[in-house]
Every structure is written in structure tokens, then in C-alpha cells.
Amino acid sequence: MSAEIICVGTELLLGDILNSNAQFLAQQLAQLGIPHYFQTVVGDNPDRLKQVLAIACERSGVLIFTGGLGPTPDDLTHETLADFFGVPLVERPEILEDIAQKYAQRGRTMAPSNRKQALIPRGAEILPNPAGTAPGIIWQPRNGLSILTFPGVPGEMYGMWRETAVPYLKSQGWGQEIIYSRTLKFWGIAESTLAEKVSAFLNLPNPTVAPYASRGEVKLRLSARAGSEMEAIELITPVEKQLQQIAGLDYYGADDETLPVVVGRLLQNAGETLVVAESCTGGGLGQMLTEVAGSSNYFLGGVISYDNQVKISLLGVNSEDLDQFGAVSDTVAKQMAGGVRSRLVAGWGLSITGIAGPGGGSETKPVGLVYIGLAGSAGEVESFEYRFGPLRDRALIRHVSACAALDHLRRKLLSRQPLENFVP
């Protein structure tokens, strides 16, 4: 049998609140090795919640609810569960006492509406909430079915899950295996192209391999089911190595590694330094680099040269070239990279100039046209043209521009050492 996540709250349906609870629970279920095939979001409506229940009870053995446990009239999770299974709600004095104590600790008096949170279905066990006033329940209303409820506040739910729910699930025989996942990351290759290259791996039973794309990069998720994390890693490792070999330089790292982290490590290992000159990204590249702890060891700083006069005065860009070719050009990108490298005295200079939109484009220079410049201490100065127009999103164009710049530097640094020596 599998588990199913049911998130209750009209605010979720309206998009007013990001559903981080579902993500957390999905990750936790995987760690416990509990199969999980369905998630549902339903509003604060008892009839629709019963419809969801009717379906979920037929296909899943563990139902995990979040939301709808507060003191207001639209908090109907426990009330609807009791009605669906034909049992009464029972007021539990220990819950009332706990709520009253928590209010007293805050120097406040419990409102009468809070008594509602002490009502739970008859036969259910209390799932304590150390951080808040809304307890959950652990309930087996019928053989082969377990129901766990949690408040919608993430901070409260996380603690309740770890302290009570996990031990309960393990006591019921769940969590005997784990599902361990590793995510490989790629830049500079389309999802469809990578999928074709690794197509022979996409039908493996264990570990499984699944491709997906996110904000310009492509990922392969490797997931293995095993009795322990060590056993799962042993299943994943040989497949991971083969996938890395197939992808070559398009592969840059795994799991929590980002392009700034990988580039920073390469720079530090090589004893190199970096400076940046940014136009359309407005400091976004520098922000990415400085988000990495220890980046001061290799990143010296940068210039945000949004206006042409700043390009001329601080970076030494030729005014005649600006007039002839425009700020968004191969020539200017090279001069920006070379200028910032020489003036700030660093080993490498990266530059970005482009049209992020939504306005400012033309037939010859459309929105999404970006040039990246790269200057090195050996005297090399290069530029790369991108056309991100189909993205049609200013923030995304700026993000992928900064990532593309880092990727070019990554590839350049790796070209100075054998690929087999690169450990991301």
C-alpha cells in the first residue's frame, strides 16, 4: 500500500500560499521508503473533502492531511473526517488544558473558539503539537487505513512529523526500506538532447533515471530503493559514472551544487581570481558568486555598468565602438571583460550585456539577445552570443545569462586540466 498527501485550504488553491508542506512530506516519505503516488489540494469545503476522501481510501493505505485544524469556522478537517466515517467528535480535556497553558505562557487568555481544536474523532489518538495550539490525530478508522493530520503551519508540522509521525509509521511496519535520490545537473544542453543521449538508462527498474528541466538547466534524478542508504548508493554510483561520461562537459555537479559553487571551487583550486562587469544583469552575477561562503578567496568584485558612460569611464569601452555596434554587441562584451579584468587586476574577467526586456528590443536586436565576454590572464578575449527571446521573462533572462557566463568560465577552467581529474 502507498501513502497519499491531502492538503486542505482554499488559500492553496488560490495560490496565496506556496505549498511547501507537500514538498516536505514527499521528501520525508521517500526517506522512509514509503510509496507515494498521489497528492491532492482541496479547498475548505466538506463536500469536496469527502469526495477526495472517498477516492483516497480506495487507493492508499496512509492518508496524510495538512491544514484545516484551526479554531475558525472554515477549519473543517477533523469534523469532516468524523462525519465521513460516521463517528462523533469528542472533546479531549488534555487538549484543552494544553491550549490554555500555551496561552497563559504568552500572557493571554484562550478564546472560546479554541475549544474547537480539542474536538477529535472518537477512537483517534492525539498527535501532539509542541509549537502550536492545533493538535493532529493518528487514527485507524478501518483495517488497513491510517490517517494522520497536521496543521498547515510548516514549522509546527515539521516537528510533529519527526517526533511522533515517523516513530508511528515505523511501528506499523513502514520505513523498512528507503528511497535514496541523487540529482545530476547539466548546463548547455537541451533536455531532449540529453534524454536522447541517455535513453538506454531511462527504463532501468532500480535505480530509476528521470530527466527534467528547471530555469535553464537540465537534471537527471537517480532514485534507488534499498534497505539502507549505503546499499542505495552502491546501486546508483555505477549508473551515475556512466551518465557523467556520456554527458562530458555538459555535466557540472550534483544535488545542492550550483554553478557558482563549482566555478568557485575551480578558481580556488587553480589559485585564480575573478572580476565581473554587468549591464543587463545589474549585479545578479556578483550576487550569485558572493552567496557562496568563502568566495572572497577568489572573487574580487565587479562593476555594474548599466549606462554607456559607465562602460566608457570605468571599463575603458571605446565610445566609437559603442556608437557603431551598440552596447549589446560582441565588441562591447569583449571590451567590458578585458577592461574589468585589467582595471581590477584579476586573472579572469566576465562580462554580460544584453536586452532583458520586456521593452528595448528591435528587429535586429530582439529582447533576449545577450553577449557574454570572457577575458583571461593569457591574453585570450572571447565573446558568446545568446538569444533567449523565447523565454520572454525579464527575471529568467537575467538568471540564465548569469548562469551561462559562469558556465563558459567553468568550461574554460576545465579545459586546462584533464576532465577525468575533475571531481565536482
Convert 335-360 into a string of H (helix), E (strand) and C (coil).
HHHHHHHHHCCCCEEEEEEECCCCCC
pLDDT tens for 45-92 read 999 999 999 999 999 999 999 999 999 988 999 999 999 999 999 999
Percentage with pLDDT > 90 across the chain: 88
Phi-psi region of 353 (alpha: psi -120 to 50; beta: other; left: phi over 0): beta
Count of other CB atoms within 10 angstroms of residue 350: 29
Same domain, residue pair 292 and 369: yes
For 33, 278, 296, 351, the CA distances from 303, given in Å and listed in that order, are 49, 6, 16, 9
The CATH number linked to 330 is: 3.90.950.20
pLDDT of residue 419: 45
pLDDT tens digits for range 192-217:
999 999 999 999 999 999 999 989 99
- Say yes or no: 231 and 114 in one domain: no
Q: What is the mean pLDDT of residues 304-312?
A: 97
Residue 418's pLDDT is 52
| Alpha carbons 190 and 250: distance in angstroms, whole number | 10
The residue from 254, 269, 284 where one domain ends is 254
Residue ranges with strand state E in 251-398: 251-254, 274-278, 299-304, 348-354, 369-376, 381-387
- On whether both 324 and 385 belong to a single domain, the answer is yes
Considering 234, 254, 274, which residue would you say is the last residue of a domain?
254
- Check residue 31 and report its DSSP letter: H
- CA torsion angle 115 116 122 125 (round to 10): -80
**Does residue 77 share a domain with residue 11?**
yes
Q: Are residues 279 and 326 in the same domain?
A: yes
Residue 420's pLDDT is 45
pLDDT at 332 over 50: yes
Cis peptide before 73 (omega within 30 of 0): no
Please name the residues in contact with 404: beta carbons below 8 A apart, sequence gap of 6 or more. Answer: 187, 188, 216, 370, 372, 384, 386
What distance in Å separates the CA atoms of residue 38 and residue 242, rounded to the nearest whole number? 32
Weakest-pLDDT range from 102-106, 189-193, 245-249, 260-264: 102-106
Same domain, 197 and 270: no
Q: Of the residues 224, 254, 284, which one is the last residue of a structural domain?
A: 254
Q: Are residues 24 and 159 in the same domain?
A: yes
Is the predicted pLDDT of residue 423 greater than 50, yes or no? no
Quick one: which of 255, 243, 259, 250 has its CA closest to 186? 250
Shared-domain flag, residues 110 and 241: no
- CA-to-CA distance for 327 and 65, rounded, in angstroms? 55
pLDDT at 421 over 50: no
pLDDT digits (tens, 9 = 90+) for 215-226: 999 999 999 999
- What domain range includes position 64? 3-171
Are 159 and 73 in the same domain?
Answer: yes
Domain with 197 in it: what CATH number? Answer: 3.30.70.2860
Q: Identify whether residues 202 and 275 lie together within a single domain.
A: no
Domains contained in the chain, number:
3
Phi, psi of 352 (to 5 degrees): -140, 130
Q: Average model confidence (pLDDT) for the chain?
A: 94
The b-or-e profile of 248-282 (16+ CB within 10 A means b, else e) is: ebbbbbbeeebbbbbbbbbbeeeebbbbbbbbbbe
Question: Domain check: are 152 and 236 in the same one?
Answer: no
Q: How far apart are CA 389 and CA 360, in angstroms?
A: 12
Q: What is the pLDDT of residues 84-119, one digit of tens each?
A: 999 999 999 999 999 999 999 989 988 889 999 999
Has this prediction a pTM greater than 0.85?
A: no
Separation CA 365–CA 397 (nearest Å): 15
Are the C-beta atoms of 383 and 334 separated by less than 8 Å?
Answer: yes
Same domain for 380 and 323: yes
Average pLDDT over residues 366-370: 96
What grid cell was written down for 410? 567553468
Q: Are 244 and 238 contacting, i.e. CB atoms less than 8 angstroms apart?
A: no
